[in-house]
Amino acid sequence: MSGASNNGGTGLGGAANVGAGAGGQSGMSAGGMPASGGEPSSGGAPTGAAGMANGGAGTSGGGTAGAAGMSTNLVTNGTFETTSSPWWSYANNTTDYPADQTLAATNGQLCATMTAGGQNVWDEIVGLSGVALTKGQYYHISFTVTADAPRTIKFKTGLGVAPYTDYFLESVAITATPTTATPQLVDYTYLNLRDDPMAQFQFQIGKTAGTVCFDDIVLEPVPAPATPAYTTPAHSHHPFKDYKGMVKMGTAVDTPIFLSNPLHNSIVAGEFAMITPANSMKMNLIQPTQGVFDYTDTDALVAWAKQNGLEFRGHPLVWHTQTPAWLTAPDTPFTADQLLDIMYKHIDGLMSHYVGQFPYWDVVNEAVDVNKDTGVWGYRSTVWHDTIGDDFIELAFNHAHAADPAAELLYNDYNIEQKGNAKADYVFDMVKALHDKGVPIGGIGFQGHYFIEPDGTTSNGVPDMQAIRDNMARYNDLGIDVQITECDFRIGKPLDDMKTAVQNKFYADMLQVCIDAPNCSHFTVWGLSDLDSWVPSTFPEYDFAHLFDTHLMPKDDYFAMSDLFAKYNPDDGTLIGGTTGTAGATGMAGTSGMMGSSGMTGSSGMTGSSGMTGSPSSGASESKKSGGCSVTPRSNGSGPWLVSVLALLGVLLSRRRRAD
């Protein structure tokens, strides 16, 4: 399954990497500089992919790659047998976070010694310029590395001039290497998406003082790896996408990591009905220079989605985070008219390029926040709102509708799932006012980021499913579509069976709520696997948020969802047997055998959520962060037994099949 001493798994790398890939840098911009906070992002630096963290079927095994005639190493000086080297170093030395290093080729290695490491890994860089890369070509990267202390490094290829764009950026955990030990070997293959005769190859090594040494660096073109066949592991033998008449299941993906991992790709194509670009359509990447759009990464994802019959979601058009520097820090701030023109041109640039291709667009993202001084909810203070005014949302939706009248337009936000939550209630009133005014807002995106705390506490991070049902119902009364757009459930370390059971139940409960609501049409999980998760780098005390593990194997939460789907006929959405499988009013679908305090057991041993989620915490704050999302305490939404039964009967009578 893998070359050398890998831990097994399913990836592209042909040689060993004994250290698992570390968590990516959430919210990274294309240039490796940190973006401001906000919604979670797989980021410019996702986690180590399968070939790197776990090994797998290599392009050629053992550290050399490619077929005959394709083994030319673009790094002609990667063995450091002489002290002369064209590699350069960079230190982002600042007053608050000083960084400094010396670089020398000694003893057959290229060694960087850092007296200060800076704040981020990109504050210390070892780089090589003038590397010629070809669009559409797969490249094999390998190198050995030693370090005097454990650390995370990133290796990347990318443009060397502004606007700075990452072609490939990958994190890897480096263990401390005794002088007598064999150096750690890192090996990966990736798909390059741009032509550039003068690209850079970099090692980003900052944050921790110490010495890091590299040797035997290879960057060479190789043939495209084969995509493995995929058979769903679902007990029903039906992948998620077979139930798209009920709920369209999707996942977030990113380039170039996504397109570089054949197993990952085959799972997404085999299981899901749609994809969302995690980062490639965000403004800093899609319009890095004012008026100049870079569709490269998104075009590649769209082409892949079409090839595999998946729908594509436009995400996002107007957002305050991951914006380019030219927008937020100009020498002369933009006037309201100028910024409105920029917003319109950004909408036009994206929607005209993809007109008629995307059935859904997140037009405005995360525009509501609480005033920290007054505690009053309202519009978030952003460059868009503060410059254009309160009507920027209305203007954005009207302009987007004119750009693509056939597309469904959504407002997308976090912590708006539960009726009775102050933010959720404010957003509902805002959407209702826009809808009543005739603004073409057709849907609402519930992001759905939740968690269990490291000590096992659930009262802050596990939602009240009845409150979500009630919220979906009032949007249904308006004729507004509901889509769960970014769902995940992170687990506070350490992982244990109790926390896993809560996670399994959460995913099944959320899916059941969506199935039962006549206006809940989509359910997107924010990333496929723990392998490329955004969570550990953003919340170091949390991990394990997704449906597949670091080896791209299905987890129990995947089976909790697929087993719930299995209670329905995929052809028409009817319950198999006619009497089992529905949750009821208190979010009673969960993991088989779990018992909530209500004692009310659903079908196949599934139980009410009220006992699992716990009661609301009176001391919790509505601004508690969850994956870039503010999660408020749950309200006590457990309904009486009679209400549950009546709701169960109502669902059974109203079960419907949605059109594709």
- Residues with catalytic roles: 366, 486
- Name beta bridge partners: 248: 522
Per DSSP bridges, beta strands 210-222 and 196-204 are unpaired
How many other C-beta atoms lie within 10 A of the C-beta of residue 269? Answer: 19
The tokens of 414 are what? 């976090």
Separation between Cα atoms, residue 28 and residue 653, nearest integer Å: 48
SS3 179: coil
Separation between Cα atoms, residue 147 and residue 179, nearest integer Å: 10
SS3 543: strand
Of the candidates 253, 355, 307, 296, which has an alpha carbon nearest to the alpha carbon of residue 165?
296
Those residues whose C-beta lies under 8 Å from the C-beta of residue 256, and which sit 6 or more positions away, are 167, 168, 190, 191, 192, 193, 297, 300
- Name beta bridge partners: 525: 251, 487
Number of separate helices (H) and strands (E) present in the chain? 16, 24
- Name beta bridge partners: 117: 99
Q: Please list the alpha-helical segments (H only) found in 124-168.
A: none
User: Cβ(140)–Cβ(188) under 8 Å?
Assistant: yes
Of the candidates 384, 302, 309, which has an alpha carbon nearest to the alpha carbon of residue 350?
302
Separation between Cα atoms, residue 195 and residue 278, nearest integer Å: 23
Of the candidates 54, 17, 23, 44, which has an alpha carbon nearest to the alpha carbon of residue 552?
54
Separation between Cα atoms, residue 252 and residue 419, nearest integer Å: 26
Separation between Cα atoms, residue 98 and residue 210, nearest integer Å: 14
SS3 115: strand
SS3 183: coil
Total number of residues shown for the chain = 660
The tokens of 515 are what? 């199935």
Amino acid at 479: G
Integer angstrom CA distances of residue 43 from 94, 199, 333, 480, 602: 24, 21, 27, 30, 39
